[in-house]
Structure 1
């Protein structure tokens, strides 16, 4: 009996142990990422040929305590390498694990190789060569808990590589993980009963290929061009060939009797092309139907019962989550409507997305897709979780014609919490509707944590939606907060009638230093929105802020009205929206100052969008506090909106608006003409204006007039003051 170890992805150990037991292995024991057991050579061969789940089948050659180079050499010399490799042959050594003396796996592999070739030299033989790509034998050394295990890799490569997949779509599943998902979903039993299988997001077709191999009783190893054991001196060709012949006969018989319906759908032509090639190499192309189609709109089920299995996108970036919420929800609703007696097996790393499926999972399995922790959710769609139907403002369900019925129901199911939020969004939009129409408002805040459970701001930018999730307090369960975010992302497209791809999600956290300038993405999607007479460029994807502070809209429009013939100064100019309003309002000239090169570049975009002459509009990169102390110019209209706090490396010191506002205002007033106006605002909620300023200047608190209707709930969103020089009598 041989001592054998089979490695596998973490989470597949129990399934692999069952599989190896069926192959005749004995004394099977599981450990993390591997299964050990004993068997004869034909049992080992059967695992190489037939295992759906294995990565590597390792034949143990030697085992001993190993701590340093001497004990490692002793382990290597336990084996008579002439029984395994000829002097003209080649080898490769893989090492996993370390000891305090053997800390570098590459160097450890060299020591194993040196021990082997030295043994050949000691017998007066030529030394074998090293071939890392296609060696005659591949060895594996595992160092763990002061023990070394030296093994021969009978497969020669990872057995998840069947040989059919030369092309892959984005983030493809490994073949053995796909096989495990199918086994957990009960596909072998369903296939035997003739039930169909559907993958509505099939990508490069790995799940379809593995499902076909199982249904056809086809050994995965038959597809490989070569196996490591074939060049091993201990190999018994007759035994191996007999097993291969048996496998080929079983495959022919399986294909001859036909397979259950296997259907794959995807929106990507590139993915479908890859799937066709992969299935053809697996010999399954004539048994699988591939269709170009949207997972959110599925055809009628081809049978009363069957299996839907899929590996949808997980959403690696926060910006990818909004459309995925809708995808999962609509997929689930389509399945519930048209595949009500089927089973759904959904594999994802994002459980919150899986919970958008309108049914309760019957079982869950923790698995890993490479290093990514994932779960397989099994839903029996007949066991439906109750949802609430979206209604119009009159409380009446919308009707739809028969041809659009499936599309309507695909987007009409919300949880109770999502329904509450949807109702609030409708209420807010109705409340603001007359003002939006009267003022021709294109960008506005629709919702700002009106319901404490849904702590986010929702802003409308034309036909796009910007969602900022506020950091939940520590008293809120993070899982609950995440669930509510998913509910909100499901409700928003329903209420606002926007495509999920037009919803842009960010997480709002306290910022410091240059964090406000940090890029979230590299999409560079700028587009123009209208504010009064201005076209202002916004970007909803790349930065935390969008390029337009919506709460300052009234102040910018007031600047437009006041700017005719004026010399305008914009301090802490941000992206220059106020500068654009002043320029369009007829300002004689404008000067805009900011420390951020990013913001000044954004101002240039805005100038171009409004076809304004750059020569009339000066742009300066400088520390505003230092600049106003040194500058000698005169301005008739000044707007200053400093950040609450900034410690940019480009600054001389740190800016604190409460501490520094006196110096800022005094400096700006020195630049203000005798009859000029300074508009000063800030977003410090607890800001207190220094009393001495009110003694030196005419000061008017215009905060209430500067807060627009869409920010009426938050009277502390900013404070705004107007300063003029006192008229000397």
Structure 2
């Protein structure tokens, strides 16, 4: 049987794997090119490549190549091809264009020129013009533009070979099936599968890696489920040859499915992804051969009775919050694999090789593969088995673990005595572990972990190593699942950046503080919505609020307002500029059966407000406007806790608390009823209270009284003053 030329395309980085695969299928005269492999094959071998190639994208049969100095040359070259010898006028066709040319910059236009040339050829030969069908053509013609040259080919497969036929249409996947197969081949899965080794994907998504792995283990041809092929309406198609090859593949599949199967399993936190995975598994003919479960990758355990391959394609993030979660994920994934998967191989496919370094595992092989246009790395590891069970405990950070354990024991006793359920358990006590760790009872325990950005003088690799050890020890000492450890990287904030949304989980939890119910969010913002260092101040407000009129400026999520209302305040007024936090504050009041009203702008002079009111306004502007009134509102209790700096786009100018605090305090004093109290606090380091304020008010520094046991170490930035009118 005579041979035909082939050019088989594949994802970039997979060319060498494809060459080996095609050689095994019988393709000869192989030559690797960027994005594919050229060669020659008999028609039967070309069919085999379509049916059996796991890593190919398309099997193209080049028809002719010619120069294209302009669009007319493309049309002329395409028109001289004897298309009527390739397919008849009753077959629909489509043109697919790839590559680039300086003479034809619009690929759609280039495709139209070839379409016209084909139609005109059929007309020239006295045949009807064939129809164009861009969705499901009988014949697909591939045009490749390479600078000033063009190549026309018949796409023998008719559609990309990654479309195996088991994935539900319309569902996007992070990995195409042929790239998933290439990852498995690079990771050594075919040899491991032959030995009966297990395969496990702890973040399996829609199950692509697992299905491809199961097909390799069962010797199933990746093209066996496809129902349409580009060569079926080709005039040189040999149906008998194709029928024989399919029957051979079906026999191999039946034999493979009848043989003992390796343990193959996956898990994922996304129930919707797992639902798609189960459907894909059924469609792939693998029901009962792949175990799927909902669960956290960091709580997974080995499957099967021998070491095997852990393979996964972790997510990558686009938001700041995603970035922090990914740092936590990669850091703890490396620790988890070392603790539980000793003796296994691991393969992590990632577009973020910088995060791969955070795993703390030394890759013995690294391959560059392209997921579309994105250059990714496949990191392959051999996981050393622990000599003893004790050796599998988190390595490194023992001094941090000891301090955390000591703090946790001491502060748990204090918290029980003080009826405190949410508190800081560690605050950069050791300079090498610059973390702030807050515990929240929701009632299940959560840890909110903030890492203070290390100075530039610290080696980044060493900082990563310490963070990895710190996160692992937090999980170990506090006995928390990774899903209840919420990690943030706290950098120096500008403007209102600390209030910028970092994620979109929308997950809120309810905590209780001195009888007040409050919502917290561990993921979507840098802060949780509850400043724990203000706990004593909020309790003081709660105890002093009975029967009083309370003003809360820069109210954030309204926690102090809740305490005042629960304490019996007859009126509360809370001011902030953020709709997000004002709505959050309203929900906090409602959690405590207190109804409130939100005013989108300051009410008119003399307008009667609801007993518990929120006003969306710039606090500085509101204070200035109120201070100018002849009949000013009077408040018995005022809480002034501004940010240290703000340049929000919603406000005019900027706020600098060191520069502006005296003016703010004078304005608050003008609204303070006789005998009333103004509390002013700030967390600005190095803050100095304007001594001239002593002429207008009696001032007491009550910082020490507003620091609980959990915020006394190290010396905090928190400062607080009590101000009264001078008598």
TM-score interval w.r.t. the shorter chain? 0.7 to 0.9
Q: Equivalent residue for 1:596? A: 578
Q: Equivalent residue for 1:621? A: 616
Q: Equivalent residue for 1:416? A: 396
Instruction: Measure how far apart 1:130 and its partner are.
Output: 0.8
- Contact 2:123 / 2:129 at 8 angstroms: preserved in 1? yes
Separation (CA, whole Å) in 2 of partners of 1:430 and 1:211: 47
Residue 682 of structure 2 corresponds to residue 676 of structure 1: no
Separation (CA, whole Å) in 1 of partners of 2:514 and 2:235: 83
Instruction: Measure how far apart 1:706 and its partner are.
Output: 2.7
- Contact 2:67 / 2:148 at 8 angstroms: preserved in 1? yes
Separation (CA, whole Å) in 1 of partners of 2:199 and 2:699: 70
Separation (CA, whole Å) in 1 of partners of 2:130 and 2:169: 35
Separation (CA, whole Å) in 1 of partners of 2:294 and 2:338: 16
Matches within 5 A, 1:132-531: 132-166=134-168, 171=173, 173-192=175-194, 194-199=195-200, 201=202, 205-248=207-250, 250-251=252-253, 258-264=259-265, 266=267, 278=280, 281-283=283-285, 285=287, 288=289, 290=291, 296=299, 298=301, 301-302=304-305, 305=306, 307-311=308-312, 313-314=314-315, 316=317, 317-318=322-323, 321=326, 322=328, 329-330=335-336, 332-336=338-342, 340=343, 343-347=345-349, 361-370=363-372, 374-381=376-383, 383-384=384-385, 389=390, 413-417=393-397, 419-462=398-441, 463-531=445-513
- Cα distance change on mapping 1:289 and 1:107 into 2, 3 Å: closer
- Contact 2:511 / 2:519 at 8 angstroms: preserved in 1? yes
Separation (CA, whole Å) in 1 of partners of 2:511 and 2:290: 46
* Structure 1 residue ranges without an equivalent (≥5): 391-411
- Cα distance change on mapping 1:353 and 1:424 into 2, 3 Å: farther
- Cα distance change on mapping 1:143 and 1:719 into 2, 3 Å: farther
- Contact 2:358 / 2:465 at 8 angstroms: preserved in 1? no
Separation (CA, whole Å) in 2 of partners of 1:525 and 1:205: 26
Instruction: Measure how far apart 1:247 and its partner are.
Output: 4.1
Separation (CA, whole Å) in 1 of partners of 2:716 and 2:528: 20
Other structure's SS at 2:143 match: strand
Match of 2:130 among 128, 131, 150: 128
Q: Equivalent residue for 1:686? A: 686
- Cα distance change on mapping 1:266 and 1:602 into 2, 3 Å: closer
Other structure's SS at 1:60 match: strand
Q: Equivalent residue for 2:599? A: none
Q: Equivalent residue for 1:636? A: 636
- Cα distance change on mapping 1:213 and 1:661 into 2, 3 Å: closer
Question: Deviation digits for residues 117-150 of structure 1, max 9, x if unmatched?
Answer: 1222233332221111221211222223333322
* Structure 2 residue ranges without an equivalent (≥5): 597-609, 627-631
Separation (CA, whole Å) in 1 of partners of 2:18 and 2:51: 14
Separation (CA, whole Å) in 1 of partners of 2:294 and 2:677: 61
Instruction: Measure how far apart 1:493 and its partner are.
Output: 2.3
- Contact 1:387 / 1:415 at 8 angstroms: preserved in 2? no
Question: What TM-score results when the alignment is normalised by the length of structure 1?
Answer: 0.85
Question: Deviation digits for residues 289-326 of structure 1, max 9, x if unmatched?
Answer: 64758674647743xx5533432644643475457765
Instruction: Measure how far apart 1:488 and its partner are.
Output: 2.8
- Name the count of aligned residue pairs: 695
Question: Deviation digits for residues 87-135 of structure 1, max 9, x if unmatched?
Answer: 2321111122344453333233222212221222233332221111221
Question: What TM-score results when the alignment is normalised by the length of structure 2?
Answer: 0.85
Instruction: Measure how far apart 1:40 and its partner are.
Output: 4.0
Separation (CA, whole Å) in 2 of partners of 1:698 and 1:217: 85
- Contact 1:352 / 1:482 at 8 angstroms: preserved in 2? no
Instruction: Measure how far apart 1:261 and its partner are.
Output: 3.2
- Cα distance change on mapping 1:534 and 1:140 into 2, 3 Å: same
Instruction: Measure how far apart 1:236 and its partner are.
Output: 3.8
Separation (CA, whole Å) in 2 of partners of 1:233 and 1:481: 65
Separation (CA, whole Å) in 1 of partners of 2:285 and 2:520: 52
Separation (CA, whole Å) in 1 of partners of 2:284 and 2:540: 70
Q: Equivalent residue for 1:408? A: none
Other structure's SS at 1:605 match: helix
Instruction: Measure how far apart 1:598 and its partner are.
Output: 1.9
Instruction: Measure how far apart 1:157 and its partner are.
Output: 0.9
Instruction: Measure how far apart 1:53 and its partner are.
Output: 1.0
- Contact 1:169 / 1:204 at 8 angstroms: preserved in 2? no
Instruction: Name which of structure 1's ranges 647-656 and 457-466 shifts more when overlaid on structure 2.
Output: 647-656
Residue 561 of structure 2 corresponds to residue 579 of structure 1: yes
Superposed CA RMSD: 3.4
Q: Equivalent residue for 2:518? A: 536
Q: Equivalent residue for 2:724? A: 724
Instruction: Measure how far apart 1:436 and its partner are.
Output: 1.7
- Contact 1:522 / 1:542 at 8 angstroms: preserved in 2? yes
